[in-house]
Structure 1
């Protein structure tokens, strides 16, 4: 980075108005602290979102005028509330937190706020917050994911997990093996794919009909996917593609304007 730190919290108060401009993009990583089966750390979603945000700000911050906000760790994770170690906010609390965040961000020179969300359970609430913050505080708000969650309509690369790899499965495990291998215990990884659900046409992850669920409805160990297929090499390939894809998306965010 040629211009010094692009982490907002590293700035001294007088620098905020000097260094941020109307074209700046505030990047807010959003993670979770929740069970990820017996083989992955509770911090998986936080780790991925924060590492990606840091990498993008380091690599493209000067080009796109990106500014990194401290990550949100505790979010909407009550689908994993049954598991010890999961720490979650209610929907009402999280929306209030996001509104407070928006109210503060609206005092800055820029009005561009991009959420980089690493946890699928946050997606619906962040989509609601996008509009609420736009209407209440005049912000230009955006929601990005390292990859679109399968349970929110994202595509699946192949059929190894029957399209049901939504939590602690092959790809998520591969990425953590790439980023923080010391936090993964592959000796505890087991396949846990809800194959009966995959056979349905509409009521399934990625189907036309959404449904409420808790992770223990689908698997006793909290895994929904097949982490035994994971590898650090796969994680490195995925990470390279994710950085390129999200970086290109942020380029459009930085240039976005409403038609009028």
Structure 2
């Protein structure tokens, strides 16, 4: 086997192993979700009998409140995504296109603030939110989520906006467009790949966030899916792995659909920084 064939074989093997490692947890989750009396690791003493009871229980049992958790997650993640992307687009445009004193300090400051771990801030946030009377409301999650995802969105859009020539802004303003009109009519349409990839990453981060949702919510009226699933418990205190895996499988559906729909934009948006100068 020559060197070229060896490299090709190693590449195929490496890619296959990577796909296997990435897909195995998801495939195992689906298998357990369709298994009767399932355990997490599939005990040899349990027969793997196919059943839809886990899904029926999750979707119909009023004591689990899964649909309430699911609705809360979708609503909060959607509102956070829209707010974060719009705010970060304005910030990234200002930093990348407008010359003002200290403009380079802004993204560095935002990045520095984002380096504080959640656990170091959650106590102070809880006291602040409690004084405002926001515990167990959407507002208790909305503002922390926006602040938490804003640095990621800002840096992604800043990287993309920096690739666009400033001649586009000058041409638009010569034609009578204001800064805001230039942003919404010229820059944002050209930045659709970056906007879609940023929005998806922000949505996933907000949808899957656990710590804030655990501490700032108390029941199904505002609690999100990750916390709701973590608190699933059987009648006698056992862990209902079948129900947990069924709920987890259902929860991945919106993320998979969004990734499939916007796959082309996501790939081009994430690789935009690698094609500078072409």
Q: Shared fold (TM-score greater than 0.5)?
A: no
Question: Could you say which structure has the higher strand fraction?
Answer: 1
- TM-score under structure 1 length normalisation: 0.26
Rg larger for: 2
- TM-score under structure 2 length normalisation: 0.25
Higher RCO (C-alpha under 8 Å, 6+ residues apart): 2
